[in-house]
């Protein structure tokens, strides 16, 4: 059986790095790399909550995500969305996914009446930008929570579990983990999986790209994702203080 | 075990109706009802293809979907997106899903250099509008193909299979099929499944709504969806001419 | 003298139908047909009033209209206005006309501090969509008032009269009533008339289309419109409860 | 019977002035005043035609109008439409009316394949801005045609007649001509009439403002308008060269 | 040494006129001409302040500018910015400059909690529109302050100095004052200078247009500007009441 | 005399770093830091030229800049401009400045018919983002030219000189070089200067912030800027190959 173009085994992640404190102004700033894919994830804390939440007596907070590709992230250059008259459907879909994934492990009551924005700005894109974003944004969220604890603005960790995400897909009949652009664009089936550190599913998005797939193929992809997310969870814990580890 | 609020069994569809020729100007017009959810699906044939396809020598066509909620579709009234400065992320996500689902069964080469627009306008919304849209849009697409055949503009059916879609979810711990709004808004896990008439998956979107789920729960939901889509496929065939039936 | 292309007399309306309760979620829902022209008119009641009215001590309500063509309403397909960066001048002109026409017979004081939205969504367009919209929207407005009365939210009918509208025009030298698209596009003079059930004018819009007209021609068209509106008023009353009939 | 607030008779125009050559860069520039209402009407000639006209073999031209209120035109200040996200319905309605009115007297074939833009910018607004705009824009159009003739770019006057416009209305039961803001805002019926110099109607727009009107009232208003337009036509001719006079 | 195309000396202004009370509705209205360049500058007083200022206890006011080119201001016609989807960078840059320049001489505390809008609408453009706008807008601002004083809404002149502005540039190696379009478009270096009547700088913007310049050239241009602004200050004072003169 | 808050001398730059090859997909990628201010400058080469240049026979190229602040660049978070309906005036002003500054040293003829985009994305903002952007963008531009030379797409260096930029200002009466946010926000006069490596001016923008300044103060600021730009030029040359050094 032929090797992948970069020599990886079918169930092998690219080289991953997670660098906290990349910049120092926001509440937290993480630079995450999945191979050449590079995303800056910052967490900013705002003292207000969205208007629809902001009712007398509200004690809950909110967590939301934004996602953007920088123009130099790809070759050819990616035209800024501000010049196209608004966010594309793809960007909005990814933003909604980031926010939903992080909220699935956040105790909004313990967070208290504030909003944490997770901004995922893609400095370089080579496939898997949404899963790198979620994986890095979780670390930024956890570090921002750590900061709130350190400043005694909250007194309990407002998270129930960790979150990580990975892509997988079926390329030329083989189920592969963590697709770079060259594999992603050749995939018949494309799947993104978001899971907690404890192995529960948060989101499964499997899409046939002008193709269809069977239940058995779906299961093979989920097995790959589960393995990859386990490894990402360990790497996230490596850069986080112990009181933010979940089992 | 308690019944569902409307007396249905957990694996039972709402009352479904699929009415072809609801209006007579577009190439095809289908009114589909899933319970109170009512969608007008029209197919319009355009002689051009999208700009990115329109290169010398191109012989392929395109199929695309649009989705919109009418303001009277819900109570309270739904504010038109044209007044909000553009399509919401949700609308764009649904439009992309409709187009992708229909293209998965279309032979764009056999369709020839033309575009079929499937417009899904929701006249009344009570949950499951995207799955009703896909189910109705497939019928409109098939009827538009029938029209192209009848007018000898193409000489082969440009479809490989049929498509239908259904929602399911976990509500108060039970896996349920075809959720109306009242169940949908109480669901911990929400899933939309698009399948072909021959039982292959096109799209699986499972989402924990501030909740997580296990592989076993995922499988239970997929079983429900498979059953429902089998029934929808039969109803689609009932209103389509035999040469558009696939096994 | 030659017949009209569909065999009608110059002063004859197309086949008209007015179907109440077409859907069941909004306060009122009416499907109106003028020949092939098909409009869904829904009335939605909102507990607030527009910002400019919303001053301490305000006791008056508001009635407003919106109008939209569905993409499948015409062949070739009608491109959605949300994709063109906003409402066209034509759409805004029609919306303003619908609102103005209905307010001319509404007692906003008796309606009380609430807004009734009349949404006129054109499912199929074959000329006369604005006049069909006004004629159907009046029925939806009256049924919404009936609902407010039935729920004892108001204690008097907040309407002074009924409203209906019809188009007419000069085509190849002849004054004709209720123009379908084929006649409308050939007309030298195009007129829309809105009148009350008691025969008072609300709006007269006569336009020479790269042509001019005399006072005598204007009068001939007004005579036709008066006859047509009389007939439409009777059909409106047929579907409305007696306490909503005006003489 | 009481006088009008400014001492005019019911059928009397305000002081009108029409000043050609107000600026010298565009093809024609006219400053028109109806009382305090002040509009700069410029005509600009463009060598192209709109895209929908621009087909091989096209020999016809186009005439179109634009209308805008300057922020200092009213007190309180009028907020620019560019800051509101687009043209209001009212502005678009007026623009369409200006273009339609001028095209009704233009021979687009004789004009040849070019576009004349008539820009009507309201420097000060005190009622009747749309009718002052049409009256001034006609003069600018005629002077631009004169310029084309003088430069031998065309060899025949491409106009069939002149155009002028006036407002009238029913205020406290009296039919009045040429309403300034204070009368306009108190009117029960508001009418704008566009006529040719030879007395043919181009446009009649009569609107009950939360009121209705009879056929007899409509006729009284049309009589007033006819008188006023006769006087405006004479004033237009005073500033135009003889070969641009029509009888 | 060759003369300038219009016979002026290098340090000579074009014919300047400043006409107050050009219209009578806004608080002040000034028509300013620098040669053919013609700008209507109106001042409108609003009782509110911008949202970011509007805090309990605020006693300060605001002065802001808007700038717009009318379509007939140039030949060929200038397309309205409302049709291009928003203000150009150039327009915004000029608006910010106008506001900043006027605020540099305004005592916002003495002005009190109100906003003065200075609208600079360019009726004809032949170079130097931004400097003519600032020069005229200052006169409109001063007259609006005079009006506030006359109405006893304020009791002290809220201005510290006057403001005027002029362009200069290096054209074919010569430093020239007050460039019309033909010189401006040939300039290698383009400079706009805003100064007070007492000779202090407010803004210096010197730009090499695909060219560079030396410190000595910069100084030669500043000398020209100083001379021109001295002359403009005198002309401003000629149309302003004595209590608005500063030394 | 008191020290600056960070201990620097009045004419001392912050710690500067210029890191080439920060990412590897675009033609060039430079990370530049002026103290905490951090900007990623990428150069992307496009084979086309802007539409207004793209005429038969064109042999020239184009250089343009874009500028954007990432939301995590500041605390509090900076709201993305795509959500505000377009680019702010400030952003457009900076973009125009970047493009103009780089074109002043580029030989567009030697560059040939292609566009180089310089994207300056601010990862962290602490004053001086526009001057850091220009300084870094020049390095990215030079490296992109080097790449074109290396690939033999051009055969001569298409640059005439280098470019760098620095801010300076008057704070509490002292002229200071390279202002961080805390000094910038307290400055009475704010100046940005763009110069070539050989000491010629490209742009001088001096602004009184609700203050005015004298010719002597202007000169003191220009002296500071000249010194700072000399030092930046040396640092740029350190990371560029010799054939891209100018004297």
For the domain that residue D40 is a member of, what is the CATH number? Answer: 3.30.230.70
Mean pLDDT of chain C: 95
In a domain? residue D106: yes
Instruction: List chains touching F (3+ CB pairs under 8 A).
Output: A, E
Q: Specify whether the CB–CB gap between A188 and A132 falls below 8 A.
A: no
pLDDT tens digits along C132-191: 999 999 999 999 999 999 999 999 999 999 999 999 999 999 999 999 999 999 999 999
Report the binding-site residues of F: 90, 128-130
In a domain? residue E31: yes
Q: In this complex, do B208 and A206 lie within 8 Å of one another by their Cβ atoms? A: no
Is E58 near chain F, with CB under 8 Å? no
If phi > 0 it is left, if psi is from -120 to 50 it is alpha, else beta; for residue F35 that is left
In a domain? residue D61: yes
* Distances in whole angstroms, Cα of residue A141 to Cα of each of A65, A70, A161, A204, F223: 10, 22, 12, 22, 46
In a domain? residue F109: yes
Instruction: List chains touching B (3+ CB pairs under 8 A).
Output: A, C
- pLDDT, residue D2, reads 65
Q: Specify whether the CB–CB gap between A135 and A229 falls below 8 A.
A: no
Of A106, A71, D117, give the one whose Cα is nearest residue E71: D117
- Determine if residue B14 is labeled as part of a ligand binding site: no
Partners of C41 in the β-ladder:
C30, C120
Between A79 and C85, the higher pLDDT residue: A79
Look up the pTM and report it.
Answer: 0.90
What is the β-pairing status of strands A189-196 and A201-208? antiparallel
Confidence of residue C222 (pLDDT cuts 50, 70, 90): very high
F3-F8-F13-F14 Cα dihedral, nearest 10 degrees: -120
The beta strand positions in chain F, using DSSP E, are 16-20, 28-34, 37-46, 62-69, 115-124, 163-171, 174-177, 187-196, 201-208
Q: Specify whether the CB–CB gap between A10 and A176 falls below 8 A.
A: yes
Mean pLDDT of chain F: 95
Is F181 near chain A, with CB under 8 Å? no
**Alpha helices in chain F, H assignment, sequence order:** 89-103, 108-111, 129-150, 181-184, 215-238
Q: Is the ipTM of this complex over 0.85?
A: yes
C223 three-class SS: helix
Confidence of residue A87 (pLDDT cuts 50, 70, 90): confident
Exposure string of B82-120, with b = 16+ CB inside 10 Å and e = fewer, is: beeeebebbbbbbbbbbbbbbbbbbebebbbbbbbbbbb
E119 three-class SS: strand
Chain D residue with the nearest C-alpha to that of C106? D210
In a domain? residue B56: yes
Q: Over 80: is that where the pLDDT of F239 sits? A: yes
Q: Specify whether the CB–CB gap between C32 and C100 falls below 8 A.
A: no
Here the tokens at position B66 are: 């649009």
- pLDDT, residue D193, reads 98
The rounded percent of chain C whose pLDDT value lies above 70 is: 99
- pLDDT, residue B195, reads 97
Residue B185: which residues within 8 A CB-CB, separation 6 or more? none
| Dist. CA B44–CA C167, nearest whole Å | 28
What is the β-pairing status of strands A189-196 and A163-171? antiparallel
| Dist. CA A3–CA D204, nearest whole Å | 78
Range of the domain at C64: 16-242
| Dist. CA C133–CA C118, nearest whole Å | 9
- pLDDT, residue A39, reads 98
Q: What are phi and psi of F242, to 5 degrees?
A: -55, -40
Least confident of A194-198, D31-35, D210-214: D210-214
- Determine if residue B130 is labeled as part of a ligand binding site: yes
B151 three-class SS: coil
Q: How many secondary structure helices (H) and strands (E) does chain E include?
A: 5, 9
D244 C-beta neighbours (distance < 10 Å), count: 19
Residues in chain E, pLDDT under 50: none
- Determine if residue C115 is labeled as part of a ligand binding site: no
* Distances in whole angstroms, Cα of residue E113 to Cα of each of C76, D71, E26, F162: 57, 21, 19, 49
- Tell me which residue has tokens 């003519």: E132
Mutate to test the interface with B, among C15, C22, C25, C115 (most CBs of B within 10 A): C25
If phi > 0 it is left, if psi is from -120 to 50 it is alpha, else beta; for residue C57 that is left
If phi > 0 it is left, if psi is from -120 to 50 it is alpha, else beta; for residue A229 that is alpha
Q: How many secondary structure helices (H) and strands (E) does chain A include?
A: 5, 9
Mutate to test the interface with E, among F94, F104, F212 (most CBs of E within 10 A): F212
| Dist. CA C236–CA C234, nearest whole Å | 5
If phi > 0 it is left, if psi is from -120 to 50 it is alpha, else beta; for residue D86 that is left
Enumerate the residues of chain D whose CB falls inside 8 A of the CB of residue E126: 25
pLDDT tens digits along A173-207: 999 999 999 999 999 999 999 999 999 999 999 99
Is E133 near chain D, with CB under 8 Å? no
Q: In this complex, do F25 and A126 lie within 8 Å of one another by their Cβ atoms? A: yes
| Dist. CA A206–CA A218, nearest whole Å | 8
pLDDT tens, chain B, 247 aa long:
567 999 999 999 999 999 999 999 999 999 999 999 999 999 999 999 999 999 999 999 999 999 999 999 999 999 998 887 778 889 999 999 999 999 999 999 999 999 999 999 999 999 999 999 999 999 999 999 999 999 999 999 999 999 999 999 999 999 999 999 999 999 999 999 999 999 999 999 999 988 899 999 999 999 999 999 999 999 999 999 999 999 7
Instruction: List chains touching C (3+ CB pairs under 8 A).
Output: B, D
Q: How many Cβ contacts (< 8 angstroms) between chains E and F?
A: 90
Of C187, C171, C214, give the one whose Cα is nearest residue C2: C171
Enumerate the residues of chain B whose CB falls inside 8 A of the CB of residue C27: 75
In a domain? residue B21: yes
| Dist. CA C208–CA D190, nearest whole Å | 20
pLDDT tens digits along D138-151: 999 999 999 999 99
Q: In this complex, do C71 and B44 lie within 8 Å of one another by their Cβ atoms? A: yes
Of E100, E212, E215, Cβ closest to residue F202:
E212
- pLDDT, residue A1, reads 52
Q: Over 70: is that where the pLDDT of A2 sits? A: no
What is the β-pairing status of strands A115-124 and A62-69? parallel
B44 three-class SS: strand
Of C25, C36, C82, Cβ closest to residue B82:
C82
D191 C-beta neighbours (distance < 10 Å), count: 24
pLDDT tens digits along F84-125: 777 888 999 999 999 999 999 999 999 999 999 999 999 999
| Dist. CA A26–CA C47, nearest whole Å | 42
The rounded percent of chain D whose pLDDT value lies above 70 is: 99
The beta strand positions in chain C, using DSSP E, are 16-20, 28-34, 37-46, 62-69, 115-124, 163-171, 174-177, 189-196, 201-208
Q: In this complex, do A208 and B210 lie within 8 Å of one another by their Cβ atoms? A: no
Of F25, F72, F81, Cβ closest to residue A119:
F72
Partners of F170 in the β-ladder:
F175, F189
Q: In this complex, do B26 and C70 lie within 8 Å of one another by their Cβ atoms? A: no
* Distances in whole angstroms, Cα of residue C190 to Cα of each of D57, D102, E3: 30, 17, 62
Mutate to test the interface with D, among E65, E72, E123 (most CBs of D within 10 A): E72
Of D160, D169, D87, D172, give the one whose Cα is nearest residue D131: D169
Report cis status (omega within 30 of 0) of the bond before B76. Answer: yes
Q: Over 60: is that where the pLDDT of D44 sits? A: yes
- pLDDT, residue E81, reads 87
Q: Specify whether the CB–CB gap between F151 and F47 falls below 8 A.
A: no
Q: What are phi and psi of F67, to 5 degrees?
A: -140, 140
Number of domains in chain E: 1
Q: Classify residue E28 by burial, with Cβ atoms within 10 Å: 0-12, 13-18, 19+.
A: buried
Chain C residue with the nearest C-alpha to that of D106? C210
Q: In this complex, do A201 and B215 lie within 8 Å of one another by their Cβ atoms? A: yes
In a domain? residue F108: yes
Of E190, E187, E184, E198, give the one whose Cα is nearest residue E229: E198
**Alpha helices in chain C, H assignment, sequence order:** 89-103, 108-111, 129-150, 181-184, 215-238
In a domain? residue A177: yes
E95 three-class SS: helix
């Amino acid at each position: 059986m032929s090797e992948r173009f970069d020599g990886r085994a079918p169930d092998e992640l690219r080289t991953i790095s997670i660098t906290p404190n990349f910049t120092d102004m926001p509440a937290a700033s993480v630079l995450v790399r999945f191979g050449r894919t590079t995303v800056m994830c910052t967490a900013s804390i705002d003292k207000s909550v969205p208007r629809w939440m902001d009712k007398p007596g509200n004690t809950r907070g909110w967590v939301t995500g934004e996602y953007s590709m920088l123009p130099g992230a790809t070759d050819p250059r990616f035209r800024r969305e501000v010049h196209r008259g608004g966010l594309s459907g793809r960007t909005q879909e990814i933003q909604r996914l980031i926010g939903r994934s992080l909220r699935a492990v956040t105790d909004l009551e313990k967070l208290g009446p504030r909003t944490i924005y997770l901004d995922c700005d893609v400095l370089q894109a080579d496939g898997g930008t949404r899963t790198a974003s979620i994986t890095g944004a979780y670390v930024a969220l956890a570090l921002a929570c750590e900061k709130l604890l350190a400043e005694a603005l909250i007194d309990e960790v407002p998270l129930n579990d960790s979150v990580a995400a990975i892509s997988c897909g079926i390329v030329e009949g083989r189920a592969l983990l963590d697709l770079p652009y060259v594999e992603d664009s050749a995939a018949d089936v494309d799947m993104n999986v978001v899971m907690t550190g404890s192995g529960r599913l948060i989101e499964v998005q499997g899409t046939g790209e002008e193709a269809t797939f069977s239940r058995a193929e779906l299961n093979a992809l989920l097995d790959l994702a589960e393995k990859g997310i386990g490894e990402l969870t360990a790497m996230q814990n490596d850069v986080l203080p112990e009181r933010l580890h979940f089992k």
